[in-house]
Chains A and B, each alone.
Chain A
Amino acid sequence: MKNDFRARNHPAYWAFIVHRTSGLLLTFFLPLHFWALGQAFHGAAGLDRFLDWTQNPLVKFAETGLVLLLSAHMAGGARLLMIEFLDWREWQKTLLAVAAGVSLVAVMAFLLNLV
């Protein structure tokens, strides 16, 4: 028999879900990102054509989502590296809160500058 959500309902597991989902979505996003930057082969005008499109509020919303994905994957990943490469200490439990905080701060900073 397999476990259901009740067995998985704890912070470290939510962190795993966030890490895996964000990693997968970022991987899918990368080709698009690289394509957009490739517009620079047509000079600044090429990039501007693309950047015009990003003025769309929906795209801005998606961009903010990407910043959240990236910062969450980075902060959550840093937490995993600390658990895996440093000797276990009780304080590592608080790393989760720190990771969540760092990614939120990044998104807030991005939003404040974007709007």
Chain B
Amino acid sequence: MSRRSEVLLWGAQRISAMLLAVCVIVHLVTMIYAVRSGLSGAEILGRTQGNVGWLMFYAVFVAAVSIHAPIGLRTILAETLNWRGQSANVFSAVVGLSLAMWGLRAVMAVFGGGQV
């Protein structure tokens, strides 16, 4: 991978990290608040279903984590398993794309929930 791409990957991981820091704080606060009186499907969907605000929030969250996690994974593969080069890059990209698709599916589920 070119030096320029390496630098941009580093930047992408940091910028996604900044987004994630905000997302995770919101996520943690929501979670701590939500488990207060036990979780129920109706309560969760009551919050998220048809709510475009949450839809946008979770879409950004999923996108950010799908950028952030595979870049970190790629580094771990290189440093710990000494797996570098094209195959490791492709593997990490596939992990990222899978996370994104799988995550957006989950976002759609809690947004549309049962009515889709």
Contact = CB atoms under 8 A, between A and B. Distances in A.
Direct contact of A and B (CB under 8 A): yes
A84 B14 CA distance: 9
Q: Is the interface of A mostly helix, strand, loop or mixed?
A: helix
Interface in B68-116: 69, 72-73, 76, 95, 98-99, 102-103, 105-107, 109-110, 112-116
Nearest to B43: A44
A27 B69 contact: yes
Which of A20, A26, A81, A113 has most B Cβ within 10 Å? A113
B17 A81 contact: yes
In the complex, which range does the number of interface residues on chain A fall in? 35 or more
A74 B110 CA distance: 24
Interface of A: 20, 23-24, 26-27, 30-31, 33-48, 51, 54, 67, 70-71, 73-74, 77-78, 80-81, 84-85, 106, 109-110, 113-114
Please provide the 9 A-B residue pairs with the shortest distance between their CB atoms, ordered closest to farther.
A43-B114, A47-B41, A44-B41, A37-B106, A40-B109, A34-B106, A48-B41, A74-B24, A40-B113
